Structure 1
Amino acid sequence: MDGDAQSIPRGWAIARLGDVIPKARPKIQADPKSSLPFIGMDHIEPESFHLIGQDSFAKMKSAGSYFRPGDVLYGRLRPYLNKIHRAKFEGVASAEFIVLPSSEFYDGDFVKYLLHQRKFVDFAMSRSSGDRPRVKFDGISDFEFPLPPLNEQCRIVEKIETLFARLDKGEEALRDVQRLLARYRQSVLKAAVTGQLTADWRAENADRLEHGRDLLARILQTRRETWDGRGKYKEPTAPDTTDLPELPEGWVWASGNQLFSWSSGKFLPTKKQAGGEIPVYGGNGVNGFHDDYLIAEPTMVIGRVGAHCGNVHLTTGPAWVTDNAIYATLLPSECDLRFLTMLFRRAKLGESSKGGAQPFVNQEALNSTLVPLSPVAEQLEIMARLDADSSNSNAIEAACKTELVRSAALRQSILKDAFAGRLVAQDPADEPAAALLARIKETRAAAPGQSRRRARA
Structure 2
Amino acid sequence: MSKTKQKSIDELLKEALVPKDEQPYQVPENWTYFYFTSILDIQGGTQPPKSQFINEPKEGYIRLVQIRDFASDDYLTYIPYTNKLRLIEEEDILIARYGASVGRILTGLSGAYNVALAKVVYPKEHIYRKYLYWLLQTEHFQGPLKMISRSAQAGFNKNDLSNIKLPLPPYNEQKRIAEKIERLFAKIDEAKRLIEEVKESVELRRAAILDRAFRGELGTNDPNEKGMLEESNVITKRDIVPENEQLYEVPKNWIWVKAGNVTEVVGGGTPKTTVREYYENGNVPWITPADLSDFEGIYISRGQRNITSEGLRNSSAKLLPAKTVLLSSRAPIGYVAIAANLLSTNQGFKSFIPSDVIDSEYLYWYLKKSKKYLEGMGSGSTFKEISASKCKEIKIPLPPINEQKRISKRVGMLLNNLDREKEMVLEVEEKLDLLKQSILSKAFRGELGTNDPNDEHAIELLKEVLKSK
Q: Relative to 1, partners in 2 of residues 1:146 and 1:37: Cα closer, same or farther, differing over 3 Å?
A: closer
Contact 1:276–1:289 (Cα < 8 Å) also in 2: no
Larger Rg: 2
Q: Aligned letter for 1:173?
A: L
Partner of residue 55, structure 1: 74
- Aligned-pair identity in percent equals 15
TM-score where L is the length of structure 1: 0.68
Partner of residue 260, structure 2: 257
Instruction: Please say if 1:331 is aligned against 2:354.
Output: yes
What is the CA-CA distance between 1:193 and the residue it aligns to?
1.1
Contact 1:274–1:289 (Cα < 8 Å) also in 2: no
Match of 2:305 among 269, 274, 290: 290
Instruction: Please say if 1:428 is aligned against 2:456.
Output: yes
Q: Aligned letter for 1:184?
A: R
What is the CA-CA distance between 1:363 and the residue it aligns to?
3.4
Partner of residue 242, structure 1: 244
SS at match of 1:311: strand
CA deviation string 1:54-77 (max 9, x = no partner): 213259xxxxx9965234464965
Contact 1:27–1:66 (Cα < 8 Å) also in 2: no
What is the CA-CA distance between 1:177 and the residue it aligns to?
2.3
Match of 2:335 among 286, 295, 311: 311
Q: Relative to 1, partners in 2 of residues 1:122 and 1:34: Cα closer, same or farther, differing over 3 Å?
A: same
Q: Relative to 1, partners in 2 of residues 1:150 and 1:390: Cα closer, same or farther, differing over 3 Å?
A: same
SS at match of 2:54: coil
1:382-421 matches, cutoff 5 A: 382-421=407-446
Q: Relative to 1, partners in 2 of residues 1:58 and 1:330: Cα closer, same or farther, differing over 3 Å?
A: same
What is the CA-CA distance between 1:191 and the residue it aligns to?
0.7
CA distance in 2, matches of 1:420, 1:320: 61
Q: Aligned letter for 1:266?
A: T
What is the CA-CA distance between 1:190 and the residue it aligns to?
1.1
Contact 1:66–1:92 (Cα < 8 Å) also in 2: yes
What is the CA-CA distance between 1:219 and the residue it aligns to?
6.6
Comparing 284-293 with 414-423, greater Cα deviation is found at 284-293
Instruction: Please say if 1:161 is aligned against 2:182.
Output: yes
SS at match of 1:187: helix
Partner of residue 223, structure 2: 206
CA RMSD for the aligned pairs?
4.7
What is the CA-CA distance between 1:161 and the residue it aligns to?
0.4
CA distance in 2, matches of 1:332, 1:66: 73
CA distance in 2, matches of 1:264, 1:418: 60
CA distance in 2, matches of 1:174, 1:37: 36
Contact 1:37–1:56 (Cα < 8 Å) also in 2: no
Q: Relative to 1, partners in 2 of residues 1:27 and 1:166: Cα closer, same or farther, differing over 3 Å?
A: same
Q: Relative to 1, partners in 2 of residues 1:156 and 1:379: Cα closer, same or farther, differing over 3 Å?
A: same
What is the CA-CA distance between 1:379 and the residue it aligns to?
0.9
Partner of residue 225, structure 1: none
CA deviation string 1:327-385 (max 9, x = no partner): 40433354221211111122222355445674444434433332222221111111221
1:361-376 matches, cutoff 5 A: 361-376=386-401
Contact 1:275–1:290 (Cα < 8 Å) also in 2: no
CA distance in 1, matches of 2:257, 2:164: 67
Partner of residue 369, structure 2: 346
What is the CA-CA distance between 1:276 and the residue it aligns to?
10
Q: Relative to 1, partners in 2 of residues 1:129 and 1:144: Cα closer, same or farther, differing over 3 Å?
A: closer
Q: Aligned letter for 1:428?
A: E
CA distance in 1, matches of 2:97, 2:232: 57
CA distance in 1, matches of 2:337, 2:38: 51
